[in-house]
């Protein structure tokens, strides 16, 4: 299972890389805004220097000609840029052309299995179901992921599922049990994955026992 980091923060990306947990990065305009960045291109280039894995940069155009031009520009920033487009009819049409040109498209803002089916049929390299935002409106976001994986397996689609809008370790656990290709994870959730109170307690008692024994 691949771990992408869902952030535009360079320190977090560098830290995840040093832990060995960085298979790629996803960004979006809100994550850029959180870092105080209005024009994303410089930041995308900096992120691409920290990882060889795919780095998703989101296009802001909403019409096909705009999406095509923007996606080509973003893809030219570094060889590992993947371009995020929204799952709209325009996004699907642009995906068809851009995928044929070899540009990796990440179709984002996926909230239904049929949107994910269209993404695969359009040739998207990645599809990003937003699980936390479905949980927020009283649905189980991970049910969506299960349905998407089922559909993609039925037809052997190669589109990779990125479980996105992850809020806590249970999302990551369920994604792994379902066999999702990728989870894009906020840095604080990556740290939570390593935490267990019995690990801390066990370590403290091992160290205390060692101290006691070494004083004898
Ligand atoms: O990768 C998508 C993600 O950034 C959206 O997360 O927490 O804004 O729903 P969130």
For domain 2-214, which architecture applies? Alpha-Beta Barrel (3.20)
How much is the average pLDDT of 66-76? 98
**pLDDT per residue as tens digits for the range 92-146:** 999 999 999 999 999 999 999 999 999 999 999 999 999 999 999 999 999 999 9
132 lines ligand 1 (CB under 6 A): yes
| DSSP 8-class letter at 159 | P
| DSSP 8-class letter at 101 | T
Alpha carbon 56 to its chain's center: 8
pTM of the predicted model as reported, rounded to 2 decimal places: 0.95
The band of 38, judged by pLDDT with boundaries at 50, 70 and 90, is confident
Tokens of 3: 């771990």
In the residue annotation, 215 being an active-site residue is answered as no
Q: Which atom of ligand 1 is nearest to the CA of 26?
A: 1
Catalytic residue among 45, 84, 215, 216: 84
Counting every residue, how long is the chain?
216
66 lines ligand 1 (CB under 6 A): no
What are the sequence ranges of the domains in the chain? 2-214
Nearest-CA residue for atom 9 of ligand 1: 165
């Amino acid at each position: 299972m691949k771990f992408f980091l869902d952030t535009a923060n360079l320190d977090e990306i560098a830290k995840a890389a040093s832990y060995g947990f960085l298979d790629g990065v996803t960004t979006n305009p809100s994550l850029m805004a959180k870092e105080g960045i209005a024009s994303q291109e410089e930041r995308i280039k900096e992120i691409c220097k920290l990882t060889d894995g795919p780095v998703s940069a989101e296009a802001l155009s909403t019409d096909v000609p705009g999406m095509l031009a923007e996606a080509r520009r973003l893809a030219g920033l570094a060889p590992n840029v993947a371009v995020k487009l929204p799952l709209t009819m325009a996004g699907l049409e642009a995906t068809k052309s851009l995928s044929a040109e070899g540009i990796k498209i990440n179709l984002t803002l996926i909230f239904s299995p049929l949107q994910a089916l269209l993404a695969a049929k359009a040739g998207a390299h990645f599809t990003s179901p937003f699980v936390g935002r479905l949980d927020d409106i009283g649905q189980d976001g991970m049910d969506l992921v299960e349905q998407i994986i089922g559909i993609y397996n039925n037809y052997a689609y190669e589109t990779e599922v990125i479980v996105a809008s992850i809020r806590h370790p249970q999302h990551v656990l369920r994604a792994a049990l379902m066999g999702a290709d990728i989870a894009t994870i906020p840095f604080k959730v990556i740290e939570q994955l390593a935490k267990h109170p019995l690990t801390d307690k066990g370590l403290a008692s091992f160290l205390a026992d060692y101290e006691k024994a070494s004083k004898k």
